[in-house]
């Protein structure tokens, strides 16, 4: 049965003040309650939260000595707050049905989510495996079997919450705000990409680096997710792709990554120039592939 567009009781675009108040609500709740949740988790495991949030190289080295699954849980649990706060803001301040934040259709399509996931996974693996062979001296085998299962559990539970929460906020809430019917797809996608890249520049792997390549890398990811969201009028492809992108840390991760992981291989730090080049090349390929697969299915 074909998807059917939902009929909103109030189809009039919400006033600007509602978007502003809603955004302040989301950010305030996320920062305050998210910190509280992370603090409770850190205290439960006996960790210093300031240490876990530090971008200092010495502190990062100390964090790497802690159990990966519990440190990851402490860092990811705050995204539960972002997830819920964005849904609440959409319902309370805009007066719209929550499904409208995910998709313009009546039902959520798991098919589209899988298309996004598989398209992104295909692209990432097609880059990673050749890189592991060509630049094998840059990678270290680092898999630890005893820590893998607990970390896998965190990766399959809190990691999709983190990625979906970011999609709800950036490609859901923010992009619907930007899409006032006057801006072009290119404009909305570029603005969305910059807004997505900005907070990621605070990640420890970016510290001490020139910002051009990290902006291009994160911005490219934000651009292609924004583009397919605008194209399909739904977050589903972006939700699946974002999860696949972050899940790739099970294969390769850097020692200075924002999120500790139990990956098969590690590299001392992110090589931003090739990472940015790969991200730029990924944009048209991902847009084309998701469109092609969606049409076929």
| pLDDT tens digits for range 242-254 | 999 999 999 998 8
Closest to 248 in 3D by CA, of 114, 116, 155: 155
Residue 92 placed within a domain: yes
4, part of any domain: no
Residue 8 lies in a domain: no
Contacts of 196 (CB under 8 A, 6+ apart): 166, 170, 218, 219, 221, 222, 225, 226
pLDDT category of residue 11 using cuts at 50, 70 and 90: low
Q: What percent of the chain has pLDDT over 70?
A: 96
55-70 residue pLDDT tens: 787 888 888 889 999 9
Residue 102, helix vs strand vs coil: helix
Domain, as residue range, for 64: 16-296
Instruction: Please tell me which residue, 260 or 19, carries the higher pLDDT value.
Output: 19
Which among 56, 74, 287 has a CA at the least distance from the CA of 189? 287
Q: Is 189 exposed, middle or buried (0-12, 13-18, 19+ CB in 10 A)?
A: buried
Over 80: is that where the pLDDT of 200 sits?
Answer: yes
Question: Is the residue at 5 inside a domain?
Answer: no
In a domain, 145, yes or no: yes
More confident residue, 114 or 255: 114
Q: Are strands 140-141 and 252-254 parallel, antiparallel or unpaired?
A: unpaired
Mean pLDDT of 39-65: 90
pTM above 0.85, yes or no: yes
Predicted confidence (pLDDT) at residue 164 exceeds the cutoff of 80: yes
The DSSP letter of residue 13 is P
Q: How large is the average pLDDT for residues 159-185?
A: 94
Please report whether residue 184 resides in a domain: yes
Tally the domains of the chain.
Answer: 1
Identify the weakest region by mean pLDDT among 75-84, 91-100, 128-137, 216-225. 128-137
Distance CA 102, CA 193 (A): 18
The answer to whether residue 150 is domain-embedded is yes
* pLDDT at residue 1, rounded to an integer: 36
Give rounded-to-5 percent helix, strand, coil for the chain.
Answer: 70, 5, 25
From the DSSP assignment, how many helices (H) and strands (E) are in the chain? 13, 3
**For 109-161, what is each residue's pLDDT tens digit?**
999 999 999 999 999 999 999 988 888 888 988 888 888 899 999 999 999 99
pLDDT at 8 over 60: no
Whether 7 maps to a domain, the answer reads: no
Q: What is the pLDDT confidence band of residue 181, given thresholds at 50, 70 and 90?
A: confident
Q: Of the ranges 66-75, 95-104, 203-212, 240-249, which one carries the lowest mean pLDDT score?
A: 203-212
**What's the mean pLDDT in 39-47?**
97
């Amino acid at each position: 049965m074909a998807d059917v567009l939902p009929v909103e009781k109030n189809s009039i675009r919400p006033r600007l003040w509602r978007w502003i108040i809603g955004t302040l609500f989301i950010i305030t709740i996320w920062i305050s309650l998210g910190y509280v949740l992370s603090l409770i988790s850190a205290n439960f495991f006996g960790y210093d939260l300031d240490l876990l949030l530090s971008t200092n190289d010495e502190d990062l080295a100390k964090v790497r000595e802690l159990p990966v699954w519990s440190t990851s849980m402490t860092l990811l649990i705050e995204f539960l707050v972002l997830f819920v706060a964005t849904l609440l803001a959409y319902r309370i301040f805009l007066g719209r049905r929550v499904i409208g934040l995910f998709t313009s259709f009546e039902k959520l399509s798991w098919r589209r989510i899988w298309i996004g996931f598989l398209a992104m996974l295909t692209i990432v693996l097609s880059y990673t495996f050749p890189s592991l062979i060509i630049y094998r001296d840059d990678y270290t085998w680092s898999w630890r079997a005893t820590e893998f299962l607990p970390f896998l559990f965190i990766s399959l539970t809190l990691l999709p919450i983190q990625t979906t929460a970011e999609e709800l906020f950036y490609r859901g809430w923010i992009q619907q705000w930007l899409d006032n019917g006057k801006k072009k797809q290119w404009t909305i996608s570029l603005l969305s990409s910059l807004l997505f890249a900005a907070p990621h520049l605070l990640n420890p792997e970016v510290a001490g680096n020139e910002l051009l390549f990290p902006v291009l890398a994160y911005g490219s990811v934000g651009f292609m997710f924004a583009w397919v969201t605008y194209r399909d009028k739904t977050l589903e492809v972006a939700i699946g792709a974002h999860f696949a992108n972050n899940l790739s840390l099970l294969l390769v991760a850097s020692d200075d990554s924002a999120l500790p992981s139990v990956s098969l291989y590690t590299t001392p730090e992110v090589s931003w120039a090739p990472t940015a080049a790969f991200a730029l090349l990924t944009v048209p390929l991902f847009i084309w592939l998701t469109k092609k697969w969606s049409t076929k299915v």
